[in-house]
Chains A and B, each alone.
Chain A
Amino acid sequence: GENVEQHPSTLSVQEGDSAVIKCTYSDSASNYFPWYKQELGKGPQLIIDIRSNVGEKKDQRIAVTLNKTAKHFSLHITETQPEDSAVYFCAADSWGKLQFGAGTQVVVTP
């Protein structure tokens, strides 16, 4: 089955700097890759997703890149703000089921 690895597990950045989270997956049939943000006491919220026919997608300060050959995808947050502090999860869809990474705790310090 699908296996998703996510790095780093924790990330501390200065406000205004960029944050990058990287994920690798094992199933070459995976074709959908969502990213979720989970704030304290809440469920994961979808922030951006990418499908395998696209190499990059951007939504304001958030961008995701996908390299299908190397089987890795990344989340980029630019101009980080304190409200970006949360746990971020990557996931890969394999035969209709999502396999999640272990999560990255992002802390943005003022």
Chain B
Amino acid sequence: DVKVTQSSRYLVKRTGEKVFLECVQDMDHENMFWYRQDPGLGLRLIYFSYDVKMKEKGDIPEGYSVSREKKERFSLILESASTNQTSMYLCASQQGDRSNQPQHFGDGTRLSIL
């Protein structure tokens, strides 16, 4: 079974802080994704990566950046946290070839910015 592990289940940070959310997958998947989940809005794609050192903007990248130094690890960075970034953050991984393959999700990090 695919295992996607997000380092924190709950996180509380202050406005203006730099925040790191970590995600690790154990299936040697090429593709990794970061989403945020808000009530009534479903899952919205922030950033994704198809390979090490590679990153692409999703639908809502403003205020975020990512890092993919190793294949199994994909980090989401909030450069200067703001209250409107309070949300549930979900990481997912996917086998290569980019389409027609399921994405596998971690259990999420619930982030509160005070």
Binding site for B on A (CB under 8 A): 1, 4, 6, 9, 31-32, 34, 36, 41-46, 49, 51, 89, 93, 95-98, 100-103
Contacts and interface: CB of A to CB of B under 8 A. Distances in A.
Q: Mostly helix, strand, loop or mixed at chain B's interface?
A: loop
B40 A51 contact: no
Interface size class of B (residues with CB under 8 A): 20 to 34
Interface stretch (B12-20, B60-68, B72-80, B94-102): B94-102
Contacts of A97: 45, 48, 58
Contact of A93 (B40, B48, B100, B105): B100
B103 A32 contact: no
A41 B103 CA distance: 18
A103 B50 CA distance: 26
Contacts of A49: 102
A46 B102 contact: yes
